[in-house]
């Protein structure tokens, strides 16, 4: 087929490929649909704080393992200063040959609590957390999360060589719908507990240990996540805490070793929480992460309807219904509106917007009728700025200058006639009174006689 024959079809196709066609939040016909940002390592966007780090309180020395064998070359002893083993090592860029570690200030007390906090500054939906240790002495620790910027905390998971250690805490936090559990483990070998008991030192020294916690493993209805608000809240995180509650000696060959904890890396697998209304998150001018909202939504999590799109209440999108926010129907006479639940209920849950500050001499819930003093010009559509015409009723002959808002006929005072109330009706004569501009002939003659008598006197 020749190019000149194909060209019109190509133009139509290219014009059809508008922004919404290329946007995951809309299908090829331009209809809104459920969408999500891509899966990322959320930890790299977090601000990490720790209770302390080795050297923050006093210069000291520690010995720690850096390899996969008990080889002495892979066991390092270091002097801690204030700028070594700091918290930024937890989420910095690492390679196999360049591993960095945060290490806590050594202590003689094996139950001195140490905390690692991760502040995300926005809501994310977390699927898993991986903690890679660079010390072998964490015996009991727990992971907690907040979904409301530290207003409240929920336990995610407990780890201990003996879960009786956390018995009271687990009972205290058993009120949540999805409950945290305790996993019995041994540092370096969370599966073979008996082997740990036989050869403690070799396991503690055998490579860096990773702990992986899944927020969704074993949870029901994960395939229906978009319709499961309980699971969504369970996965929603703004802040994380890892609290170390008990340590064991890192290795017996260093009899005078103090207790400390060490983390080389934390990976948090998840997505920006955008409530199904965005396919990506962006950095704002002040380096804050926010959703690039679609479906006429707005907010950091697309958690509300954009201004002028409140004809129905905001709802999260689901795979079955995008629940996009609907523009108010103000007939182009207003740019502001508000949601009224009573209107929404009365409409059968179809429309709840009330337009505010109607312009172009319109009024009403939808700016759909002409205000007093104006009437409808049916030659123009209601969206036309000239759809309402000035009544131009005579200021003296009409009642308050108002006319019928559909036909423009003015409401006249007694004895006054004409579409604009600008003349006296038959049998009436014009007076000099603004209150009764037209009076009957009988009263008019009496009026003239009284005026004449008054002038003579």
Distance of CA 227 to the CA centre of its chain: 17
Residues 403 and 409: beta-carbon distance below 8 Å: yes
Distance of CA 89 to the CA centre of its chain: 30
Q: Is 189 exposed, middle or buried (0-12, 13-18, 19+ CB in 10 A)?
A: middle
The predicted pLDDT at position 443 comes to 66
Per residue of the chain (457 residues), give pLDDT as tens. 454 444 444 444 444 445 455 799 999 999 999 999 999 999 988 899 999 888 887 777 776 555 544 444 556 677 887 777 878 888 886 655 667 888 888 888 888 899 999 999 899 999 999 999 887 778 899 999 999 999 999 999 999 988 888 877 776 655 556 788 888 876 644 433 322 222 323 333 334 578 999 998 766 555 677 888 888 999 999 999 999 999 876 554 444 567 888 898 899 999 999 999 999 999 888 888 999 999 999 999 999 999 999 999 999 999 999 999 999 999 999 999 999 999 999 999 999 999 999 999 999 999 999 998 899 999 999 999 999 999 999 989 888 888 888 888 888 888 899 888 999 988 888 888 888 888 887 765 665 555 545 555 5
| Domains defined along the chain, listed by start | 40-272 (2.60.120.260), 391-456 (2.10.25.10)
CB burial string 284-299: b at 16+ within 10 A, e below: eeeeebbbbbbbbbbb
- Please give the structure tokens belonging to residue 64: 């720690």
CA distance 361 to 382: 11
Pairing relationship of beta strands 154-160 and 181-184 according to DSSP bridges: parallel
Nearest CA among 322, 273, 323, 317 for reference residue 299 = 273
Please identify which residue in the block is written with the tokens 């396919």. Answer: 279
- Please give the structure tokens belonging to residue 281: 């998150």
Torsional class of 441: left (φ above 0), alpha (ψ -120 to 50), beta (otherwise): alpha
Considering all CA atoms of the chain, what is the largest pairwise distance in Å, rounded to the nearest integer? 135
Other beta carbons within 10 angstroms of residue 427's beta carbon come to: 12
Q: Residue 143 half-sphere exposure, CB side, CA atoms within 13 Å?
A: 23
Nearest CA among 291, 289, 287, 328 for reference residue 311 = 328
Q: Is the pTM of this model over 0.95?
A: no
The predicted pLDDT at position 156 comes to 92
CB neighbour list of residue 423: distance below 8 Å, 6 or more residues apart: 397, 416, 417
- Please give the structure tokens belonging to residue 40: 């990322």
Q: Is 98 exposed, middle or buried (0-12, 13-18, 19+ CB in 10 A)?
A: exposed
Please identify which residue in the block is written with the tokens 């064998």. Answer: 69
Task: Give the C-alpha distances (Å, rounded to integers) separating 180 from 154, 159, 172, 215, 446.
Answer: 8, 11, 11, 10, 98
Residues 277 and 296: beta-carbon distance below 8 Å: no
């Amino acid at each position: 087929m020749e190019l000149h024959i194909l060209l019109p079809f190509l133009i139509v196709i290219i014009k059809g490929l508008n922004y919404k066609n290329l946007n995951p939040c809309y299908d090829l016909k331009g209809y809104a649909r459920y969408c999500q940002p891509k899966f990322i390592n959320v930890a790299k966007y977090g601000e990490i704080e720790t209770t302390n780090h080795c050297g923050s309180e006093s210069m000291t020395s520690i010995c720690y393992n850096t390899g996969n064998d008990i080889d002495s070359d892979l066991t390092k002893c270091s002097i801690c200063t204030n700028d070594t083993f700091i918290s930024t090592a937890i989420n910095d860029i690492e390679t196999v040959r360049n591993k960095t570690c945060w290490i806590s200030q050594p202590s003689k007390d094996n139950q001195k609590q140490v905390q690692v906090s991760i502040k995300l500054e926005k809501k994310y939906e977390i699927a898993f957390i991986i903690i890679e240790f660079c010390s072998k002495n964490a015996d009991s620790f727990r992971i907690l999360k907040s979904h409301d910027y530290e207003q409240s905390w929920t336990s995610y998971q407990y780890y201990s060589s003996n879960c009786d250690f956390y018995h009271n805490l687990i009972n205290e936090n058993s009120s949540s719908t999805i409950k945290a559990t305790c996993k019995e483990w041994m540092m370096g070998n969370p599966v073979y507990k008996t082997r740990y008991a036989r050869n403690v030192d070799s396991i503690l020294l055998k490579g860096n240990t990773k702990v992986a916690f899944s927020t969704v493993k074993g949870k029901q209805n994960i395939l229906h996540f978009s319709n499961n608000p309980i699971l969504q809240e369970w996965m929603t995180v703004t802040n994380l805490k890892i609290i170390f509650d008990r340590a064991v000696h890192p290795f017996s060959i260093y009899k005078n070793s103090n207790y400390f904890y060490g983390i080389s890396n934390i990976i948090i697998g998840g997505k920006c929480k955008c409530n199904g209304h965005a396919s990506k998150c962006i950095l704002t001018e002040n380096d804050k992460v926010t959703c690039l909202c679609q479906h006429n939504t707005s907010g950091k999590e697309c958690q509300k309807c954009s201004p002028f799109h409140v004809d129905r209440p905001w709802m999260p999108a689901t795979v079955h219904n995008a629940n996009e926010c609907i523009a108010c129907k103000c007939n182009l006479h207003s740019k502001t509106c508000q949601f009224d639940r009573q209107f929404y209920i009365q409409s059968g849950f179809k429309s709840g917007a009330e337009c505010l500050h109607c312009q172009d001499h319109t009024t009403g819930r939808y700016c759909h009728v002409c205000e007093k003093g104006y009437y409808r010009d049916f030659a123009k559509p209601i969206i036309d700025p000239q759809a309402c015409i000035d009544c131009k009723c005579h200021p003296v002959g009409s009642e308050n200058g108002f006319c019928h808002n559909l036909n423009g006929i003015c409401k006249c005072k007694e004895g006054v006639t004409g579409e604009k109330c600008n003349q006296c009706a038959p049998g009436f004569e014009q007076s000099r009174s603004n209150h009764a501009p037209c009076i009957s002939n009988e009263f008019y003659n009496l009026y003239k006689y009284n005026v004449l008598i008054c002038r003579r006197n």
